[in-house]
Amino acid sequence: MGMTFAQKILAAKAGLDSIDVGQIVEIEPDVSLSHDNTAAIAKTFAKIGVSNVKDPDMFVIVLDHTVPASEEKYAQNHKEIREFVQMQGIRRFYDVGVGICHQVLPEKGFALPGTLILGSDSHTTTYGAFGAFAAGVGRSEMAVLYATSRIWLKTPASFKIIVRGKLSDPVSAKDLILNIIGSIGADGALYKSVEYTGEAIDDMSIGSRMVLCNMAIEMGAKNGYCAPDKKTFEFLVNRAEGEYTSVYPDDDAVYERVLEFDASALSPQIARPHTVDNVCSVKAVAGTPIHQALLGTCTNGRLEDLRIAAKILKGRTVANGVRLLVLPASQEILLEALKEGVIDTLVRAGGLLLNPGCGPCLGAHQGVLAPGEACISTANRNFKGRMGSRDAETYLGSPATVAASAITGVITDPREFF
């Protein structure tokens, strides 16, 4: 009997020929990631009784959540992290301004096919877009990795999600994943390994695959996976930090569920407050007033996302009373967008450019919501209080939907601009 991607990669990392679903294995990740929560993890690590991180080169640390520091407590947190990194000899440290960890780690060549990546952030699942087994872990687990470089993992059962057909502009990967989550439910794939496959996936860019894997956690998945192909390998040219070997599921692998979706029949989708699986077509809520539009974050802050928004906004102006926040996922993306004139278009339309980072997505700074306000966002979560006031509302949509809505001042189907 064949093995799924999750079974094959965990078996290989554990030094086993085969592995069963539910089997617990002890493994050593190739890469471990943390961000602004490194300060808290370092405090837990100190309590273990080990003075030195066992393998400093295993860790990538990115300051991205509240950057630059918005108040003293965040400044102190960043200071402690810089001191810890220096003391422990952690070379792969990216200070404020480089970007969001989920974009920086692939750009710097650490998200490689066939690798096992663990991070103290739930959206670590993003790196499955490169054919890695990538999953979030808790802070205490990360502290143990600092000390021992090893951890236990339970082998997840797997779902295969087959997406047939082809997405038609301006429908995007964000619309697709919202539709999938709306169909499966926020806990419908709890602790499952989700393998995305089919013609639509093959047709997608790396950035679009990152959207799917980033939001796998929003249906409860342990990890998401897209099979590495020519696009993957081309992205990694002059980036990859070391050699890699791709891992693919066996043709006769056994899946707990196989689900099929038709990309060609999909319309723009939106997640209504206050859960990511509260999904409907954009047309169903068209006309809902908004006060803020957020374009960017680790989910949709890549160049292709900024481009589609600029295409819609070019020669137009953001509606009175609406704040359009533009949040590139990394410095690399920002520089490319500047070079192409994309940022010029967005700013001339009325957009406010923020520095690369998580910004208002987590409700810490740079555009939190007041009571009674509504925001349409390309981020990955819309929980009550996520972006500020618990009496505010957040809708999740694609970059095209966000741009169209920013122009009209109400939630708008972006196909009206095509």
What domains does the chain contain, in order, with CATH numbers?
Answer: 5-15+23-261 (3.30.499.10), 269-417 (3.30.499.10)
Q: What is the pLDDT of residues 102-140, one digit of tens each?
A: 999 999 999 999 999 999 999 999 999 999 999 999 999
Is the pLDDT score of 222 beyond 90? yes
User: pLDDT at position 178, please?
Assistant: 98
Q: Tell whether the torsion through CA atoms of 352, 355, 360 and 361 is positive or negative.
A: positive
Q: What is the pLDDT of residues 5-24, one digit of tens each?
A: 999 999 999 999 999 999 99
Q: Tell whether the torsion through CA atoms of 399, 405, 408 and 412 is positive or negative.
A: positive
Strands (E), 313-377: 323-327, 351-353, 374-377
CA-wise closest residue to 92 among 128, 53, 124, 66: 53
Q: Tell whether the torsion through CA atoms of 380, 384, 390 and 394 is positive or negative.
A: positive
Q: At what angle do helices 72-88 and 38-48 cross, to 10 degrees?
A: 50
- Determine the average pLDDT of the residues in 260-278: 97
Q: CA-to-CA distance for 212 and 167, rounded, in angstroms? A: 14
Q: E strand or H helix at 139, and its extent?
A: helix 139-148
Amino acid 282 reads: V
Q: Is the pTM of this model over 0.75?
A: yes
The pairing of beta strand 158-164 with beta strand 257-262: parallel
- Determine the average pLDDT of the residues in 17-34: 97
Q: CA-to-CA distance for 95 and 70, rounded, in angstroms? A: 15
Q: Across the chain, what does the average pLDDT equal?
A: 97
Q: E strand or H helix at 54, and its extent?
A: none
Give the number of residues written for the chain. 418
Amino acid 381 reads: R
Q: What is the pLDDT of residues 349-390, one digit of tens each?
A: 999 999 999 999 988 899 999 999 999 999 999 999 898 989
Is the pLDDT score of 219 beyond 90? yes
Q: What is the pLDDT of residues 66-108, one digit of tens each?
A: 999 999 999 999 999 999 999 999 999 999 999 999 999 999 9
CA-wise closest residue to 259 among 160, 158, 156: 160
Cβ within 8 Å of residue 167, ≥6 positions away: 173, 175, 176, 200, 203, 263, 264, 266
Q: What is the pLDDT of residues 317-344, one digit of tens each?
A: 999 999 999 999 999 999 999 999 999 9
- The separation between the first and the last C-alpha atoms of the chain, rounded to the nearest angstrom, is 48
Q: Is the peptide bond before 170 cis (omega within 30 degrees of 0)?
A: yes
254-to-20, 42, 200, 228 alpha-carbon distances in Å? 11, 40, 22, 20
Q: Percentage of the chain with pLDDT > 70?
A: 100
User: pLDDT at position 364, please?
Assistant: 87
Q: At what angle do helices 206-214 and 303-313 cross, to 10 degrees?
A: 100
- Determine the average pLDDT of the residues in 161-180: 97
Is the pLDDT score of 1 beyond 90? no
